[in-house]
Amino acid sequence: MPFKSGLELTELQNMTVPEDDNISNDSNDFTEVENGQINSKFISDRESRRSLTNSHLEKKKCDEYIPGTTSLRMSVFNLSNAIMGSGILGLAFALANTGILLFVFLLISVTLLSIYSINLLLVCAKATGCMVYEKLGEQVFGTPGKMIVFGSTSLQNTGAMLSYLFIVKNELPSAIKFLMGKEEAFSAWYVDGRILVVAVTFVIILPLCLLKNLGYLGYTSGFSLGCMFFFLMVVIYKKFKIICPGLEPNATSPIISNLNSTHEDICKPQYVTFNSKTVYALPTLAFAFVCHPSVLPIYSELKDRSQKRMQMVSNISFFAMFVMYFMTAIFGYLTFYGNVHSDLLHNYQSRDDILILAVRVAVIFAVILTVPVLFFTVRSSLFELAKTTKFHLCRHVVVTLVLLVIINLLVIFIPSMKDIFGVVGVTSANMLIFILPSSLYLKITHQDTEKFTQRIGASLFMALGILFSLVSIPLVIYDWVYSGDRAEGH
């Protein structure tokens, strides 16, 4: 219903305005009408002195207000599940190639920087009223902003799907061999990881992806998080059961990285390490902490939502994941030291260990059920970009099949998970954590002289992200070339 610009103050006082965090949930931003006066700290310059009604309409021009119904506790659970992912399997490898002290420093730094970037994102969402990341980018930077956000979130979600299917490719063959009573060296077409990942995709994942609504799969989030916690408990338990690799013939980890190393060198923890794989540490950590595409949807569903309440959700979730990530990395590293794989679960190769089989099956089942949820997000973003949001069965099926074929081809030909972590970490993860939140914030507050200090912080934050890209991308490319040359030499 349109409002007249000359709305009288008496009419204005009788209006009922929805209570959301953009208007009244944060006491610092509360706008009230009292004794014929409109008081607000935002109405300070000539351009801002307009009626409360028009100001409200301007704030609501992005998304309509819908009250949230999710409790703070459940929001913490949802965000923690969004943070938690396959990145946890690569953290021990990152630690092995940085050393304990350097890894702890990087882990703390990425955790704090991620929390800060979430804060910037919440400020931008509050200022524009946008609760969808693509719409936020479009609201601030127009179509280019929407395209950049779409590209970053889609690449991030695609990288996560690749890492999940990579787990299926690596771990499902071992689980099947164990159930069949075969040795690890046994080879047959039906235990080929490439064939199995294609079979799982088109037998289990495809039917779920073809559904029109995948909302009920949200129930698997608790199971997925529980599986990862079970994995952590097993990693800690196995630290005290597995003797350092190389000490005895039946050691769990089969390969010694350096044949010239003594046992003391192999089993001695390193506190600071630099090698050709160190460059993957920061991208792996960034990949493990990216949850930004899920922040705004969780924010919009938060009951009695406000920026402060959502920031509390963010702080609790990131602290919990920090503890879980640190415990998994340190105990995984102290079990296998320099022999840890880029997929930690792949280190546990004992054929007779039922506990390890249970972990494999639980993690495999969890990631299989998580892939359709991420796929649904990528496909929906693609349709939104093409402005074809109306459901059409033929288009729905064709796009689903094409995307799944492309994803399977990438899984088959990508050599290891560290390559997934490296590519996504230096591109989309860097954009989502550093560059996008800071650039959106700087654009929104470019005329606000009162936020000079905050703008300096956001500028430094964006500069850090750009520096991270300039340093990491050439190093990752160099490692690929160097690794390729060594492979050809062998």
- Residue whose pair of structure tokens reads 């990693």 in the numeric block: 235
Structural domain includes residue 269? yes
Contacts of residue 127, defined as CB under 8 A and 6 or more positions apart, other chains included, come to: 444, 445
The tokens describing 279, both together, are 């460059």
Read off the pTM.
0.74
The residue ranking higher by pLDDT, 272 or 422, is: 272
In which band, very low, low, confident or very high, does the pLDDT at 325 lie, cut at 50, 70 and 90? very high
- Dump pLDDT digits (tens) for 98-108: 999 999 999 99
Q: Is the pLDDT of residue 250 over 50?
A: no
Q: What pLDDT shows up at residue 331?
A: 94
- Dump pLDDT digits (tens) for 419-456: 777 777 778 888 888 999 999 999 999 888 888 889 99
Contacts of residue 322, defined as CB under 8 A and 6 or more positions apart, other chains included, come to: 107, 108, 111
In which band, very low, low, confident or very high, does the pLDDT at 319 lie, cut at 50, 70 and 90? very high
In which band, very low, low, confident or very high, does the pLDDT at 216 lie, cut at 50, 70 and 90? low
Q: Is the pLDDT of residue 321 over 50?
A: yes
Structural domain includes residue 316? yes
Query: Across residues 40-68, what is the average pLDDT?
Result: 48
Structural domain includes residue 50? no
- Dump pLDDT digits (tens) for 217-226: 556 667 777 8
Residue of 192, 150, 74, 170 lying closest to 367 (CA atoms): 170
Asked if 345 contacts 167 with a C-beta cutoff of 8 angstroms, the reply is: yes
Structural domain includes residue 391? yes
Task: Determine the structural domain holding residue 455 and report its residue range.
Answer: 74-480
DSSP states of 27-53: GGG--EEETTEEE-TT--SGGG-S-HH
Asked if 12 contacts 53 with a C-beta cutoff of 8 angstroms, the reply is: yes
Asked if 115 contacts 315 with a C-beta cutoff of 8 angstroms, the reply is: yes
Q: Is the pLDDT of residue 373 over 50?
A: yes
Query: Across residues 211-236, what is the average pLDDT?
Result: 76
CATH number at residue 414: 1.20.1740.10
In which band, very low, low, confident or very high, does the pLDDT at 277 lie, cut at 50, 70 and 90? confident
Average pLDDT over the chain reads: 77
- Dump pLDDT digits (tens) for 142-151: 989 989 999 9
Structural domain includes residue 371? yes
Structural domain includes residue 123? yes
Q: What pLDDT shows up at residue 370?
A: 80
Q: Is the pLDDT of residue 29 over 60?
A: no
Structural domain includes residue 368? yes
- Number of domains the chain is built from: 1
